[in-house]
Amino acid sequence: MTVPFRIADGIALPNGDLIVFRSSEAGGLFRLTAGSTTFQELMGPPTFANAFYRTGGWLVAATWMHQSETPDLGTLAYVSRDNGVTWIAVPQP
């Protein structure tokens, strides 16, 4: 199988699916279903993450944090309890 893009990060799920972030300016989150050879783009979830992991049944996609004069009041991370089907934004404290 040839992967059609560079992968920045990914997670293998217990059901055999693979969820990956595309390494490009556009980003994007994709799922390779177990037994399939075609990646499907997931719409709505985060398109970039610098930390992508699974803990306690949750998928976590954390965004970049950096120091600056202007505080970043955007989303801190996205979490999914259903293996990446739906995502919940976690705001800055």
Sketch the domain layout of the chain as residue ranges.
7-91
Contact between 45 and 57 under an 8 Å Cβ cutoff? The reply is: no
Contact between 63 and 49 under an 8 Å Cβ cutoff? The reply is: yes
pLDDT at 72: 61
Confidence (pTM): 0.78
pLDDT at 71: 61
Q: For the segment 21-39, what is each residue's pLDDT rounded down to a tens digit?
A: 888 888 888 999 999 999 9
Which residues, listed in sequence order, are joined to residue 19 by a DSSP beta bridge?
11, 31
Q: Kindly give the parts of the chain with pLDDT less than 50.
A: none
The count of other CB atoms within 10 Å of the CB of residue 85 is 12
Exposed/middle/buried for 46, CB within 10 Å: 0-12, 13-18, 19+? buried
pLDDT at 68: 64
pLDDT at 64: 67
